[in-house]
Structure 1
Amino acid sequence: MKPITIVIAEGYSDWEIAPLAGVGRAFYGADIRFASPHGGSVTSVAGLTMADTDRFEPPNDGVVVVCGGPAFEGDNPPDLSERLRQAKAAGCVIAGICGGTVALARAGLLDQVRHTSNGPGYLDQFASAYKGAGHYVDQPMALRDGYIITAAAPMPASFAMEVLAAAGLDRAKAGEIPAMLSGEHQAA
C-alpha cells in the first residue's frame, strides 16, 4: 500500500480518523504518518496530545488526509491550500473529513468534482472562494471522485474504507471496516 499522511491541526477531531489510523495500521498494516500545519505538538478536541508531529510537506505519492476540527472553522484557519495543490499535482489522492473538507474547498480542489461534507451550505460558510456547490452531494457516506475523497463528520468508517482503498488495499478488504464498525448497531 501507498503511505497515508494524516494532517491534524490544533483541536483535531480524533474520532474522525480513529478507524483509519487504528484499524488501518493494526489490521491491514497501512503506513500511517502524522503531520500538522506547522509541526510540533497538537492536541485533539478530546485532549489527546500528539507530540512532535512533522510539518506537513506535500508527499510525492500516497494519500493525504486532512482531519477535521474547529480550527478550519475559526477566524485564523491553517492555510494548507498550496501544499494540498502540490500533493495533488504530484499524483496524491487528497481526502478531507468534516472541517478537513473546508481546507480542500479553500484550495479549489472541490470546484470540479463531486464531493460531500457536513451538509449543504457548510462549505460556503467557511470557504469564501468555494465554487463547487453545483457538484455537492448530500449523502450519509464518504464519496470518492477521482483523486478526491470527502466525508461528513459522522462518517469515519466509510471514509477509512475509501482512503485505504485509494492507498491500495483491496476494495473488498477495505469494505470490511464499515461492516465491522456497524455490527453493534445491527445487533440492537
Structure 2
Amino acid sequence: MQPITIILTDRYSDWEIGHLAGLGGAFFGADLRFVSPSGGALRSVAGLPLSETARFEPQESGVVVICGSPVWEGQGAPDIGVPLRQSLANGCVLAGICGGTIALARAGLLDEVAHTSNGPGYLDQLVPGYRGQSRYVDQSGALRDGNLITAPAPAPASFAYEVLVAAGLDRAAAQQIPDMLAREHQA
C-alpha cells in the first residue's frame, strides 16, 4: 500500500479521520504520516494533543488527506495550494473531508472535477473565486473523481474506504469499514 499523508491543523476534527487512521493503521497496516502546514504540536477540536507533526511538503507518491478543521473556514487559513498542486502533479491522489475541501477549492482543484462538501453553497461562501459549482454533487458519502476524493463531515467511513482504496487496499477489504459501521444503524 502507498503512504497516506494526513494534513492536520490546530483544532483538527479528529472524528473525520478516526476510521481512516484507526482502522486503516490497526487493521490494514496503512503507512500513515501526520503533517501540518508549518509542523509542530497541535490540539484537536476535542482537545486531543498531538506532540509533533512534520511540515507538509509536496509528496512524491501516495494519498494526501486534508482533515477538516474550523481553521480552514477562517480568514487566516494556511495556504497549502502550491504543495497540493505539486503533489497532484507528482501523481498523488488528494482527498479532503469537510473543511479540507476548502483547501482543495482554494487551490483551484475542484473547478473541473465532480466533488462534494458540506452542502450546496458551503464552498461558495468560503472560497472567493471558486468555479466548481456546476460540478458540485450534493451527496452524503465520499466522492472520487480521478485523483481527487471529497467528502462532507458526516462521511468518515466512506471517506476512509475511498482513501484506502486509492492507497492500494483491495476494495473488498476496504468495504469492511463501511459495512461494519453500518450495522450499528440497522433496525
Taking structure 1 as the reference length, the TM-score comes to 0.98
Partner of 1:155: 155
C-alpha distance in 1 between matches for 2:149 and 2:45? 23
Deviations 1:35-64 (A, max 9, x none): 001000011100011111000011100000
Deviations 1:144-182 (A, max 9, x none): 000000000000000000000000000111111011112
- Which stretches of structure 1, 4 residues or more, deviate above 2 A after TM superposition? none
C-alpha distance in 1 between matches for 2:140 and 2:173? 21
C-alpha distance in 1 between matches for 2:118 and 2:95? 14
Partner of 1:34: 34
1:13-162 alignment, distance < 5 Å: 13-162=13-162
Tell me the SS of whatever aligns to 1:83.
helix
Tell me the SS of whatever aligns to 1:40.
coil
C-alpha distance in 1 between matches for 2:65 and 2:96? 6
C-alpha distance in 1 between matches for 2:109 and 2:176? 29
Partner of 1:9: 9
C-alpha distance in 2 between matches for 1:22 and 1:129? 36
C-alpha distance in 1 between matches for 2:144 and 2:83? 20
How far residue 101 of structure 1 moved from its aligned partner, in angstroms, is 0.1
C-alpha distance in 2 between matches for 1:110 and 1:156? 20
C-alpha distance in 2 between matches for 1:138 and 1:175? 22
How far residue 183 of structure 1 moved from its aligned partner, in angstroms, is 1.4
Partner of 1:165: 165
Query: Structure 1 vs Structure 2: percent identity of aligned residues?
Result: 65
Partner of 2:178: 178
Cα RMSD for the two superposed structures: 0.6
How far residue 85 of structure 1 moved from its aligned partner, in angstroms, is 0.3
Taking structure 2 as the reference length, the TM-score comes to 0.99
C-alpha distance in 1 between matches for 2:78 and 2:97? 15
Tell me the SS of whatever aligns to 2:169.
coil
Amino acid at match of 1:173: A
C-alpha distance in 2 between matches for 1:83 and 1:42? 20
Aligned length: 187
